[in-house]
Amino acid sequence: MSGIFLDESIILLDLEATTKEEVLTVMGKNLQESGLVEESFTKAIVARESAFATGLPTKGVSVAIPHTDVEHVKQKAISVAILKDPVGFGVMGDEETMTPVKIIFMLAMDRADDQLTLLQSLMQIFQDEATLNYLANEDNKANIKKLLAKKLDLSFEGGEV
């Protein structure tokens, strides 16, 4: 998959937050300030996460993959946040159960079929405990970008992957 914007400017390290709404708001506003999503994106992603939880209790480090409808997106992008301290997210398919999420992959996709393809690729990363631990502890945004581009089989052109 090509044309996905993945850049150090939308990789957030040691993000401090106490609620999932706070995390989603900071990440959404960052994408909006980067010109990648519509003004409606942040509100839409917070609402969707409340209705359809995206937390995944993976081995070692729990992740979340918040995303929303394509009409809120200007350009395909993946924003990544590594949280300073885990924040509780509802578990996908079981909103009543919470998981302490450390890594968030916020997806901004402009086509539904691209979103499905990306989710399938991300699932490979989520099943790799060593990769998740590396991401959770890496403090260099360029290294995170490089690893994700390799693992997701993306090719670079400037900020776009």
Torsion over CA of 51, 57, 62 and 66, rounded to 10 degrees? -20
57: left (phi over 0), alpha (psi -120 to 50) or beta: beta
pLDDT tens across 30-84, in order? 999 999 999 999 999 999 999 999 999 998 899 999 999 999 999 999 999 999 9
Q: Is residue 127 part of a domain?
A: yes
Domain containing residue 57: 8-145
Q: Is residue 42 part of a domain?
A: yes
Which of helix, strand or coil describes residue 38? coil
CA distances from 59 to 101, 133, 149, 154 (A): 12, 9, 22, 25
CATH number at residue 13: 3.40.930.10
- Kindly report whether the global pTM for this prediction surpasses the value 0.85: yes
Number of domains in the chain: 1
* Token digits of residue 132: 């998740």
Q: Is residue 154 part of a domain?
A: no
Asked if 80 contacts 11 with a C-beta cutoff of 8 angstroms, the reply is yes
- Say which range, 86-90, 92-96, 135-139, has the weakest mean pLDDT: 92-96
In whole angstroms, what is the distance from residue 103 CA to residue 148 CA? 13
Q: Is residue 105 part of a domain?
A: yes
